[in-house]
Each structure stands twice: as structure tokens, then as C-alpha cells.
Structure 1
């Protein structure tokens, strides 16, 4: 398919319908499943046990935890050689419980072979982290609105924020549908996606602003032609940039450690969504808002 032959404006209703459908599915998923919050946003403990020069299985790890009498809510086994056991507890482990678990692994694999990392969050801290995550996204959105309003105009600012919130919501929806863990790296990924999305959108908006001075805009068709031209003029740059960052995120997801896999996956989804919204959503939303100002001018001329 030659993207330069697409009439982006003419097909805007199809793109809007696709985004609305994804948004509705995401809302349904959130209402039914909610998000699978990690320890960062719920009180509890995660325990990462690393077994040097050995490998294990999930069944073996479950057996060890059963012997201690302290069973976690989830257990995953990963690492380069299946030598990392990650366990999540919905309660905060006591010192004696942690010592008992590590001792059980040391008895099985040898004291010198076992190391661990513990991450504990109590209820108050979890609540505070959740609120700060919401504040971070809200402040970033407000900052973008102010900056774009000053640099361009309020219509650009409004549509840019709608597009980046669209990208963030798609990531949140997919994590809800597949019940992937949401933690602080996930919030970092969402903020990074917001930054990428606005950057790509601003490039197209900047070209639209330039072409507004060059094109003679008398009616909606003239405005639509100008928007189509602007998108096509920046299309190669947008696609190349998207492919580059998506490839980098994909490599992180495939070859990165277990601790950043979900971060990389969130980035991968968000980057694809960001490229889509910049090309197919943001400019068309601006076109609709701008066309209303043209209609208003016509009405004012007739009334005068």
C-alpha cells in the first residue's frame, strides 16, 4: 500500500471509528477486569531469588514455597538460564518469613548460589504512589496544553492532548485486557509515550501552520487539501522515526531482562499508537475544529 495515495481527511471517520471502538473495549475491560496492580500500587512484597549457575522450574519453586508454608499469589521463573524466581505476596513479609524462604532456597541449591532482592510497599506508600502517578500524567498534559497554546493555538493544543491521551489509554486498555502487571516502570513508559506522541504530532502541526500561510483557504475543501498535503509532506519522516523507535523497543522486549520486559512492551504498544494517532487522528481533529471557525466567519459576513 502506498500511504501517499491515502486521502487522510476523506477517511477520517474510519480512523475515528477504530479509535472509538478500541476506547470502548478498553473501558469495558477496565470495568470488568480493572488493572493488575503490582506491589508499587498495592501493599505487599515481591521477592526476587537469583540462583547462580543453576536453573529451576516453576513447579520446583512452588514446591519450595509450599515447604515453607508461605505461598505467594504469583510465581514466575525467568532469567537467562531460568535461574530467577520472582514471587509476589499480597502481604508484607516479616523478617522471619523472608529468612525462612531464603533458607529454603539455600538448602536446595547451596548458600553460596542464592542471592535475593526484596521490594516491600505498605498500604500508605502504595496509595501515595498511585496518586503521584495520576498527578504526573495530569501535570504533563497541562504543561503540553500551555506550551502548544503559546507556540501554536488552542485548537492544536486541545487535539494534541486528545491524541496523546488516546495513546496512553490504548496501552492501559491492553494491559487491563491481558492482566499484565502495572507498576512504576509502566508509569514511566506512559510518560515517555506522551513525550514521543506530542513530538511526532508537533512536527505535523508545524507543517500545517506553515502551509496555512501558503494556501488560500476559502472553504472546507481547501482546508482539507492543505491538511492532506501537510501530512503527506511529513509522512516519510513520521514513518521512519516510528520504525526506528519501534525497532529499539522491540529489541529491548526480546533481549532485555525480565525486569524491563513489561516496560518495553508498554513502550512498544504506545509508540505504535503514537505514530498512528499523529498521522490519522490529531490533524483530522484539528481540521474539524478549524472548519467551524471558517463557518463562523461566513456567518458573520452574511449577517453583516
Structure 2
């Protein structure tokens, strides 16, 4: 695809306003981190030892009645509030592992109250497995991030790699912060969503950085003003592509979040948060970080006296 660099319409000077975008992201990240530290995370059984109980009741029910049955059958166990979802379904999570025979007793008590159509689904994770899952999830995200950084460094240059690292950190922190603020459950599907977000985000950043690199060959970039103009031109040349690409996935993820089952809803929401954050960071964060780093290099070279021949 060819571009006319001289006649590209710059509807808004993104580069000149980059400090506003840095401030906006900084505020969201700080607020999110404060929520994470104070409120913590609603960890699923994948990362926190315990038992999750999903119940299909099959008719109208009162969550308080189910909670009363649970208190009677497992009086020593702590559990979260019974939360309805879907059609005549509910779930709760115990803070400790509950034996299968106790779960059978709970199921029978629910059948006695609501009928034989009642069924249950149980997911239990003991402490050692939960710790291992947390460790493996962190390693998976770290390996994916390192692989991306190495690729960018070899494919382009190290300044692009640094800008990419900042952008990807932004893309990971925003969904994590939002999940903490909204009290959404963090489970293994959330980690899958984070890895998917990294993939979409790096693809968007590569397209923008590739356009900047190509324009560096044909446009002037010896002064700060020329460099900022070059980046503005590059961003507007790739703007439609960035927005249209993410929009197709965004609307699909939104449809799944609204119409899909409870088991995949948090994955879809994490994907929605990450897609918006990734597109925003590619245009308004990563590219602007590269501009700052490049300008600093240019100013440093000007201050360094050339060695005599």
C-alpha cells in the first residue's frame, strides 16, 4: 500500500499533545494499582485454593435459601455469596477444599427443595496446585513478553523495543487494574485473555513502527519538528487500519460478553478492556515514548562534540 506523505491529512497533532496522553494513562494506572493494593483481587479457584460450586436449579430460586442449605451442610466452611447467572443457575466459592461426599449431600439437599432436575458442577484446587498455577501463569506472560521484545529489537531497533515494552506493560496493567476495581474474578481464562491481548497489541505496534521506519527513509527527520511531523504522518496513515482491525474483534468480544455463557464472560471482558487499551497504547503511548527517546538521542548527539580528523 502506497502513501502520499506530503498530502496525508493530520486531523489532530497527536505528538504535540503526548504529555496529556501520558498523564491520562498515568492517572488510570495509579488509581488501578491503589485499588489492587487496597481491595486486592477476586481470585478464582485456579489461583486460590478452594472449591467452586456451580448449580443448575432449573426453576426460580432465592439465593438466601441456597446459602442457608450450605450453612447447614458445611457449617465450618466459609463461602462467597451465592450469585445467580444465566437461566436458573448460581455459583459460589468455598475458601477451602470441600470433599466430594459433602458435595453429594449438598446436591441431595438442593434436590429435596427444588426437584430432581438440580445438578451441580464442582471445581476444586488444593493449595499446592493453586501456587503452581500462579507460578506458571506468571512465567507464561513473562516468556511471551520477552519473545516479543527480542523480536522487535531484531526486526527494528532497540528504541522501538523499549517503546514496545512500555506499551505492553500499559496493556497488561489496565485490564488487571479494571478487574480489581470492578471486583471481577481472575482465573485461568483471564491469563489466556492477557496473552491474546499481547498478540493483538504487538501486531498493531509493529504496523505503526514499520510505517515510521519506512517514512524515515523518505522524509526529513534531522530536527525535532521534522521528527514529530514524521510520526504524526505515520500515525494518521495507519489510523484507519488500527481502528478497523480492533473494531472487528471488539464487537465480537462484546457480543460474547453480553450473550455468552458465564464461564467465558470474564475472558471476553478482559479482551474488550485489553483491545481498547492496546489500540490506545499503540497510538498514544508506545509511538510517543519512541519519539521521546529519539529526540533525547538527537539532542545528546548535538551536545557531543565531533572528534577531530
Map of 1:33 onto structure 2: 39
Q: CA deviation at 1:229?
A: 0.3
Matched, 1:142 2:157: no
Which structure 2 residues correspond to residues 54-203 of structure 1 after superposition, within 5 A?
Answer: 54-70=59-75, 72-79=79-86, 81=87, 83-111=88-116, 113-203=117-207
Give me the CA root mean square deviation.
1.6
Distance in 1 separating the partners of 2:142 and 2:83: 33
Segment drifting more, 174-183 vs 57-66: 57-66
Q: Deviations over 1:222-280 (max 9, x none)?
A: 11110000000000111111222111111011001011111111111111111111111
Given that residues 48 and 125 in structure 2 are in contact (C-alpha distance below 8 angstroms), is that contact kept between their aligned partners in structure 1? yes
Aligned counterparts of 1:4 and 1:105: Cα–Cα separation in 2: 64
- TM-score, L = length of structure 1: 0.93
The structure 2 residue matched to 1:231, chosen from 235, 248, 266, is 235
Q: Structure 1: give runs of 5+ residues left out of the alignment.
A: none
SS in structure 2 at match of 1:160: helix
> Are the counterparts in 1 of residues 246 and 279 from structure 2 also a CA contact under 8 Å?
yes
Partner of 1:250: 254
Alignment map for 1:208-287 (pairs within 5 Å):
208-287=212-291
Q: Distance in 2 between matches of 1:251 and 1:69?
A: 38
Offset of 1:62 from its aligned partner? 2.2
SS in 2 for 1:48: strand
Conserved 8 A contact 2:49-2:96: yes
2:21 is matched with 15
Gaps of 5+ in 2: 1-8
**Aligned partners of 1:61, 1:242: CA distance in 2, in Å?**
42
Q: Which 10-residue stretch deviates more, 15-24 or 293-302?
A: 293-302
Partner of 2:4 in structure 1?
none
CA contact (8 A) 2:67 2:81 kept: no
How far the C-alpha of 1:38 sits from its partner, in A, is 1.1
Q: TM-score, normalised by structure 2?
A: 0.92
Q: Is the 8 A contact 1:74 1:89 kept in 2?
A: no
Asked whether the equivalents of residues 61 and 85 of structure 1 are also in contact (C-alpha less than 8 Å), the reply is: no
Residue by residue over 1:151-184, the C-alpha shift from the partner in whole angstroms, topping out at 9 and shown as x without a partner, is: 1111111111210110110111111122211110
Find the aligned partners of 1:221 and 1:106 in 2 and give their Cα distance: 73
2:301 counterpart of 1:297: yes
Distance of 2:70 and 2:165 partners within structure 1: 47
Instruction: Classify the secondary structure of the residue corresponding to 1:106.
Output: helix
- Tell me the CA shift for residue 297 of structure 1: 2.8
In structure 2, distance between residues paired with 1:265 and 1:248 = 11
